[in-house]
Amino acid sequence: MDRATAVCDRVAAPRPTLTPTPAAAAVRAPVPTPAQTPALPSAPAPAPTRLREPFIDWLELKGYRPPTIKSYVHVVKHFANFITCPPARMTRQHVHDFLLYLKRDKKLEPRTINLHYYGIKSFVDFLLPDAGDALMGGFCRMREPHKQPRILSREEVERLVNAAANLKRKALISLMYSSGIRLSECVNLTLKDINRDRKVLFIRQGKGGRDRYATLSDRTLHILEEYYRLYKPLTYIFEGKTPGKPMRHRSVESVVSLTGYQAGLGRRISAHMLRHSFATHCLEAGVSLQVIQLLLGHAQIGTTAMYTHVSAQMLQSAKSPFDTPLPQQPLVTPVMQQPKPRRHYSRHGRPRTRTSSTRKARGRA
């Protein structure tokens, strides 16, 4: 047999079939297409609790504002997770342990603990109105420490404005300082709230649901005009990434804090410090407390009066008595006093007086 015939026979011979192992079969298994892939069971969406929506409706009918409602709902959720029992079965001991947990373990500030206290109290009034005294009796708000507001000097404000990374941040910081408005009021300002003729800002439904007007400086108005020509906001003055939606509060705080770090101020700067600085600088410029109260939107004049304790000019105007020299007294020549005549006293401690009988007896002697 020649070589060509042998090669043809090997090619034509049937090849033995190999049985694949289970591992090899799994590897060679066809990959299913997306249409053939079975859909995984989706996780059920968290259904709202049975008391959440009625509690929100109850708070709205009571006249609470959306930020307060949001805080109270969060407090009740935290409290419900702590007691691990149905809210209708909570006891006074549960409230006591929860408040003590916030104070000792969480180490929260008294102001935050008071927020939890009022949130639980509102929920008890909603769910168990007849058992309010039994559950919340003996509890009261904690005494909050009186802290002096931290302010910036005029030079530090200029450094902060000039250190802004872009025109939007510069306009944001300039507006908050020059008008003294709150952070929530700043992000809710719309283009219609600017009155260029009167140079005022209309604050719609500020803290406590009160409308008011705030001042608008010429320098800030010029910066806002440049900002509008460049960014062209739709509805709100300062909008976030979504057009027509306001900036988030946390974004504004981050902008102010980062700009303060870039300015090299050496401390953490918050958005509310700009409001404190505005009030203090107005007071040092001679603006009356009543006008500052109207500009800031304070309900009581006592809240505005706290800025008198941080005004540098008022503190420096009070001169320390240690720096005041003592008055020079004139030298007086001492005068020799004549000795008083000696008086005779009786055994009873009363001065003796010479009667007529005594004089007669002495005359006879």
Same domain, 254 and 169: yes
Same domain, 120 and 175: no
- Domain stops at, among 136, 168, 200: 136
Backbone angles phi, psi at 187, to 5 degrees: -70, -20
Beta bridge partners of 215: 200
Residue 66 lies in a domain: yes
Q: How many domains does the chain have?
A: 2
- Domain stops at, among 136, 167, 186: 136
Same domain, 171 and 111: no
Pairing of strands 212-215, 200-203: antiparallel
pTM of the entire structure?
0.68
Residue 302 lies in a domain: yes
Same domain, 172 and 119: no
What is the rounded distance in angstroms from the CA atom of residue 182 to the CA atom of residue 326?
49
Residue 26 lies in a domain: no
Same domain, 310 and 168: yes
Report DSSP letters for 293-334, one per residue. HHHHT-SSHHHHGGGGGT-HHHHHHS--GGGSPPPPPPP-PP
**Catalytic residue IDs:** 182, 207, 272, 275, 298, 307
Residue 322 lies in a domain: no
Give me the CATH number covering residue 77.
1.10.150.130
Q: Give the DSSP H/E element, type plus range, for residue 131.
A: none
The parent domain of residue 168 ranges over: 154-316
Provide the residue-wise pLDDT of the chain in tens; the chain has 365 residues: 444 444 344 444 444 444 444 444 444 444 444 444 444 344 333 334 688 999 999 999 999 988 899 999 999 999 999 998 888 899 999 999 999 999 999 999 999 999 999 999 999 999 999 888 888 888 888 998 888 889 999 999 999 999 999 999 999 999 999 999 999 999 999 999 999 999 999 999 888 888 999 999 999 999 999 999 999 999 999 999 999 999 999 999 999 999 999 999 999 999 999 999 999 999 888 898 899 999 999 888 888 888 877 776 666 666 677 777 777 767 666 666 666 666 666 666 666 655 555 555 555 54
Same domain, 67 and 184: no
Same domain, 92 and 183: no
Residue 271 lies in a domain: yes
Same domain, 105 and 67: yes
Same domain, 125 and 233: no
